[in-house]
Chain A
């Protein structure tokens, strides 16, 4: 069996799906394809199934919040971004797909149908960053209690701290601890 020679992912995606690729970034030898948010599942299917790409392993999904404490998100088109890190075991290389997600409509189509591994990775982002994945079958929180308010990994969520407990302030602190509610 001969292995088809490796293709440039940007060219292959542009051939298969015109007008889906918004930008291509190269940094320190890593390729990032910025794609249209609504069509991430199609792009994922293409890069998984096209001979010459075969990104068969989903390494990671991570989200980033570009909000700055004293301003907006500068040059970036939207506040949030979700990055999909794919691995091709055949060609021994990695690829990052990136979608920008607006603040007022933080929804991305799920890719759980392409890689089941996306199941918990998407739930984690939903829980901690507040980006919903449309079509995900299990939209409960993953890490935090179900009654938690807010999404801690957003930049506008304060870090918080634990007050040191002494006998004189113990009651006051215990009153405000985030115990699970009834």
Chain B
């Protein structure tokens, strides 16, 4: 194959070796030049991060799509093998940076399962509140950017206005807006501050009206419907075979929500519905997420009512959870436990566990293998974005290149989550 570039016009280049590599990945038509190979990304605004797609195009139609990931690979799993369990929590925030609390929880549930640690009631309620706020936070960013990709500019600005309120509440809880590391093995970092509950109450009064506003802008908008209905259809069988999970799976009509089916953190005590789509297209995935936001507001309201009696917010098992600051001045044991836990950490058995939760994007699974000492032998995160990008070639086949942008947006990927 001969390639010519404008600045080297006249000179003839031999492109060696690479054609063989491309065989099997793209069709033979690309190698003869009948179809066009187009590089999309890694710095493309609609790939939601640094995702590179190698597209084979027949006119504007996608013949094949090869995702190339790894630009954000930071070796988080490798780093965790060299840190104690408490220190690993801060790394989990950095994976899915739009839903940091979900990653915290997946990891903490795995640690708690491995060392058999109980979590008090109040901590579980606080965790549920954090999960649902995270879900709203993540869905707001998703809705804003997805609409922006499709050309609806104003939704983006409204969504980020409401997201700011959630981030302020995270700041009240943990002192951090995004990388909160608030959920720790055995409970949460500290009790909720007094100003948090009024802020949450105000937010719950405010939010349903705002979701109505987004729906007014999009749900019945003919342009939006034209761009999304019948696009990027995922059949339920195909979705399950390719490991698609979360709202993208429910958009295809599979009623599977880990919160409902295999509850964790006391989700069985809340009354909520699992919205399910019908056609599995981009529109259904959009509408499932909008309905999920309403369900999240509902769960938050129920959790807020249960928050009233005070109680312990983390386990009092001093072998795993550091004592409160106030005890350090009075108790020698507390000083010893504090010192031991923050220098050496706690030990976990040489066994393996798997814990999975329903994150805003889908199923986050944490595979944790202890080593019999204070550091894990292996941590592996199964992340929803990873599975969704892996399924992208199947979803996008035969669509126009403009629809690809909508399909990428609709499965809600975060590249930090994918590459880890």
Contact = CB atoms under 8 A, between A and B. Distances in A.
A115 B241 contact: yes
Interface stretch (A1-9, A24-32, A166-174): A24-32
Q: How large is the interface on B (under 10, 10 to 19, 20 to 34, 35 or more residues)?
A: 35 or more
Contacts of A32: 352
A60 B75 CA distance: 18
A30 B354 contact: yes
Contacts of B353: 27-28, 30
Contact of A92 (B262, B391, B394): B262
Nearest to A152: B78
A96 B382 CA distance: 14
B356 interface: yes
B27 interface: no
Given A28-B113, A59-B356, A152-B75, A65 B378 contact: yes
Chain B: interface secondary structure? Answer: mixed
B261 A119 contact: no
Contacts, number: 104
Contact of B367 (A57, A65, A85, A115): A85
Interface stretch (A11-19, A36-44, A102-110, A137-145): A137-145
B367 A60 contact: yes
A58 interface: yes
A159 B79 CA distance: 7
A57 B354 contact: no
B60 interface: no
A143 B73 contact: yes
A137 B256 contact: no
Nearest to B382: A60
A107 B389 CA distance: 26
B363 interface: yes
Nearest to B349: A27
Given A28-B113, A56-B240, A116-B241, 7 more contacts: A60-B354, A60-B382, A62-B367, A64-B378, A96-B354, A121-B390, A144-B70
29 contacts: A28-B113, A28-B114, A28-B351, A30-B353, A32-B352, A58-B243, A59-B382, A60-B380, A63-B378, A64-B377, A64-B378, A65-B377, A66-B377, A83-B354, A85-B382, A94-B356, A115-B241, A116-B242, A117-B243, A117-B387, A117-B391, A119-B390, A120-B387, A120-B390, A140-B21, A143-B419, A145-B70, A152-B78, A153-B77
